[in-house]
Amino acid sequence: MTTLLSRLTSFFSNATANDDEASYLCSQIIQDADQHLVASRLAEMLKNSGNAWPPKPTHAESWPDALKPYYTVYQRIAPFLPVHESSLDDAENRILIDKSRSLFAAVLDEEVDLPDVCETLEACSQSDSDLMPISGWLGFYSCIASLRHGYRWGILPVVREAQNEKSLQFPHELDIPWPYIQRRLGITSPGGSMSSNSYYNFDANRNIVYPITAGLSEEHNRTELWNSLLFVEIEDKALPLYRHISKAVQFLENDDIPSTISTLQKANDDCKAAFKHFYENMNDFNLVPSIWLPYCQGFQGWTLEGINGVSGGQNMLIRTLDSFLGVRPWPTEEEEALHLPLAQRNWLNSLRKFDIREVANQKGNEEVIKLLDHMVSQLRLWRMGHMRKMQRYQVHRPERNKMTAGKSLVRDGGVADDGAMVNHLKEMLSVRLRETK
């Protein structure tokens, strides 16, 4: 017993120390905002994430009274979403989907006072309003996105009867808040994102707030948790990297080459630590292969009106490294605006605009270029290894069409073809080492 207590005490002490360190680092980043454009964009991203990174959302406790019923609606409906065994009968699934959506509509109508919601959202959206903090907006975005995804699919695991739908009319209670969320956070997708469905879907103790495997086994719950937690925890490791990236840009622009080199060395170490954490925790215990695809991945999809859903490629660490290192192709502004909040996009675009590789080439410093190339190699190895590891999770599900949440329906069977996936990845990972102008 003494040993167990000492281990628990050590665990919570380390967690507290890590929280304190992250909080201090965030405050330093925000204080550095006036030192460089890239630094200001990093600070902006933290400020729009609850003055933290990973983001710190707050939920019903921070919302105006008129919005709190949405939290209640989700908790009431969540246990009815998943089923233990999927039907292979399309007609039966249509009945189940329609029944589930009717339940959604009835509970929303019962709990939500729509005129009060409209009035409150108008008031919250005023530029001088302090009715809801940004952390509350993040949590509200997560709640409404979860409700919209739940209504969109009707049942979980996802079935082809829902996948084959091209469009869908949502209840007014879910449609009316959405443009306010889009404007406040700067996103355009009608569905959720990695931010809404993962980053913002935790409480202060990192428990999932809007679950999709309620009432199922501990294995289901654990797989759902790690499906999001893995991306949140990798951002814990990435925060020092982001600051070192920002500092490297500032030092290089000021011709402080020794500081640039030492900072890039630290950034390479940060990158290695983040990838190592991801690999160590992406295992069959945390993410059960037979459970992940039907009970986690499917819910993250969208497919309506040709719009894709949540993708692991929306995570900020990979987007940051791509932008910093010049990995092509970059998404178009319209593509990125679908799912990435404006503050996140501004951070990425500041790195792309500075173009550290081109600046390093102009200055002719081989050591700086060598360190950037080493980081590119780390990124390439991680992505290739990650893709191969993901093959274990591409299990056959007879109740659904093949679908990747971030690329919608797959008609040609390519997702199950390891060679095709690896070739596609190689194409996407091509790095254009541009010539010095």
The annotated binding site is made up of: 386
Q: Are the C-beta atoms of residues 420 and 414 closer than 8 Å to each other?
A: yes
Annotated binding-site residues for heme b read 386
CB atoms within 10 A of CB 310: 27
Cα gap 228→334, rounded to integer Å: 25
Q: Which DSSP category does 59 fall into?
A: -
Long-range contact list for 292-295, CB < 8 A, 24+ apart?
292/223, 292/227, 292/393, 293/393, 293/394, 293/395, 293/397, 294/86, 294/156, 294/157, 294/158, 294/395, 294/397, 294/400, 295/82, 295/156, 295/157, 295/212, 295/213, 295/216, 295/220, 295/223, 295/224
Long-range contacts of 414-418 (CB under 8 A, 24+ apart): 418/388, 418/391
CB 133 within 8 A of CB 59: no
Q: How far apart are CA 379 and CA 272, in angstroms?
A: 9
Q: 158-170: b or e for each residue (b if 16 or more CB lie within 10 Å)? A: bbbbbbeeeeeeb
79 touches 211 (CB < 8 A): no
CA 414 to chain CA centroid, Å, is 24
Angle 2-31/218-253 helices, nearest 10 degrees?
40
Cα 385-387-323 angle, rounded to 5 deg: 85
- What is d(CA 336, CA 362) in angstroms, rounded to the nearest whole number? 29
